């Protein structure tokens, strides 16, 4: 038996591989659900019924998926050019705190002007926070995995310092949270009596924009060439340094925008637990989508559905709620195997 690279991957295989990976992950995790003493089919039925079986469940899943789409796009953009941005969590928090700092003041602007300005400020904060690791990589060859990962802790500690100090809300009864964003700076709801807000539509537009950028622009082609091989791209005349810098800034901007959307659309203020791991989950979403911007949307919805439905499954069947993390992690592993098999085949 040997592995042989495929000369051409059938389109049907590209579609079937991700679906097979998710089904395989659910089958593997069913063993753990069975060991917990719960009926497997009933447990999965409860999970997906809670997340996708009602108006409330669907809107909660889409609300949870909104920041995942944006952080997933940030990871997909960077990874496509082989810039390993692991600092999405820190960029998320920088975007959030920038919005809280600017949005708490009364600028006298109508919502139609104030909201875009706040979202732009959040995206800019995330982009600037990634500027340092990008320059260190380009100028000194410092591994961006280390710098972006360590800056996550810097960002969270900085946010904690601000919301415990100069940005602490005096009306929060001692609870560590930032001053709230004014009413004019909040995103409107998409559906009445739900938490689903306009940020979900913005995330969908961002996915379409990144897909267009990758497929129809010179920059998208250049980033793809740099990702496939830096020496070959440089030999072809592509400005590798400029492409990597712009890619890093775009990736950080998307993660910062995720933090801005979470504050203006859902929370209204910043706390240290604003993100339950949106940055890390964004990397998983990007890998589940095979770095395809359009694939990020269903991947994010799947991850969000698992997390939303896991609590109901835990209450109804006694399965530990951290089974959601196991399902998502297993799905990532099976997806990596599926992607490998789309490029290679086993020959006797």
Position 123 confidence tier, pLDDT thresholds 50, 70, 90: very high
Percent of the chain residues topping a pLDDT of 90: 70
The pLDDT > 70 percentage for the chain reads: 100
- Would you state the pLDDT for residue 344? 84
Convert the pLDDT of each residue in 172-213 to its tens digit: 777 889 999 999 999 999 998 899 999 999 999 999 999 999
2 has pLDDT over 90: no
Q: Residue 23 and residue 89: Cα distance in Å, rounded?
A: 29
Cβ atoms of residues 108 and 281 within 8 Å? no
Per-residue pLDDT at 88: 95
What pLDDT digit, counting tens, does each position of 130-179 carry? 999 999 999 999 999 999 999 999 999 999 999 998 999 988 777 889 99
Mean pLDDT is lowest, of 52-56, 124-128, 253-257, 260-264, for 52-56
Residue 285: pLDDT band with limits 50, 70, 90: very high
Give pTM, 2 decimals.
0.93
pLDDT at residue number 220: 93
Q: Among residues 92, 84, 137, 64, which one has the least CA distance to residue 253?
A: 92
pLDDT tens figures, 14-54: 788 888 889 999 999 999 999 888 899 999 999 999 999 89
pLDDT exceeds 90 at position 343: no
* Cα gap 330→29, rounded to integer Å: 8
Mean pLDDT of 264-284: 91
Q: Which two tokens stand for residue 216?
A: 């129809």
Q: What pLDDT score was predicted for residue 243?
A: 95
pLDDT at 293: 95
* Angle, helices 218-228/240-262, rounded to nearest 10 degrees: 110
CB neighbours of 304 closer than 8 A, spacing ≥ 6? Answer: 51, 61, 62, 64, 65, 68
Q: In angstroms, rounded to a whole number, what is the distance separating the alpha carbons of residues 308 and 41? A: 18
Q: How many CB atoms lie within 10 A of CB 267?
A: 17
Dig out the tokens for 219 from the structure. Answer: 């920059």
Residue 108 or residue 91, greater confidence: 91
**Amino acid 10: pLDDT:** 81
Query: For residue 129, what are the contacts with CB-CB under 8 A and spacing of at least 6?
Result: 87, 90, 91, 94, 151, 155, 252, 256
Confidence of residue 89 (pLDDT cuts 50, 70, 90): very high
Would you state the pLDDT for residue 46? Answer: 92
What's the pLDDT band for 348 if we cut at 50, 70, 90?
Answer: confident
Sign of the four-CA dihedral 229, 210, 273, 171: positive
- Dihedral of CA atoms 76, 158, 153, 96 in degrees, nearest 10, equals -30
In order of their start, the domains of the chain are: 2-347 (1.10.3470)
- The average pLDDT across 309-336 equals 88
């Amino acid at each position: 038996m040997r592995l042989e690279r495929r000369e051409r991957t059938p389109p049907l295989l590209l579609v079937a591989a991700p679906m097979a990976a998710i089904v395989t992950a659910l089958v593997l995790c069913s063993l753990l659900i069975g060991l917990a003493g719960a009926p497997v089919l009933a447990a999965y039925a409860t999970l997906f019924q809670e997340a996708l079986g009602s108006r409330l469940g669907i809107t909660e899943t889409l609300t949870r998926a909104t920041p995942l789409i944006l952080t997933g796009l940030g990871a997909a953009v960077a990874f496509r050019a082989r810039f390993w941005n692991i600092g999405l969590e820190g960029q998320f928090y920088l975007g959030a705190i920038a919005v809280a700092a600017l949005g708490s003041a009364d600028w006298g602007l109508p919502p139609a002007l104030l909201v875009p300005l706040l979202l732009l400020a959040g995206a800019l904060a995330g982009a600037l926070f990634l500027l340092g690791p990008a320059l260190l990589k380009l100028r000194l060859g410092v591994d961006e995995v280390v710098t972006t990962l360590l800056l996550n802790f810097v960002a969270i500690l900085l946010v904690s310092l601000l919301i415990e100090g100069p940005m602490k809300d005096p009306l929060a009864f001692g609870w560590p949270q930032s001053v709230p964003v004014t009413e004019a700076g909040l995103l409107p709801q998409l559906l009445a009596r739900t938490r689903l807000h306009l940020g979900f539509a913005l995330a969908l537009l961002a996915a379409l924009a990144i897909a267009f950028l990758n497929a129809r622009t010179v920059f998208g082609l250049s980033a793809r060439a740099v990702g496939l091989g830096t020496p070959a791209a440089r030999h072809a005349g592509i400005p590798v340094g400029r492409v990597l810098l712009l890619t890093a800034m775009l990736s950080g901007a998307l993660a910062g925008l995720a933090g801005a959307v979470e504050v203006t659309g859902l929370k209204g203020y910043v706390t240290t637990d604003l993100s339950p791991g949106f940055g890390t989950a964004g990397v998983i979403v990007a890998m589940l989508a095979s770095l395809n911007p359009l694939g990020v949307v269903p991947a994010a919805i799947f991850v969000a559905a698992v997390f939303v439905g896991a609590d109901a499954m835990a209450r109804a069947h006694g399965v530990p709620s951290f089974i959601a993390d196991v399902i998502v992690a297993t799905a990532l592993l099976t997806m990596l195997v599926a992607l490998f098999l789309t490029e290679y085949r086993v020959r006797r």
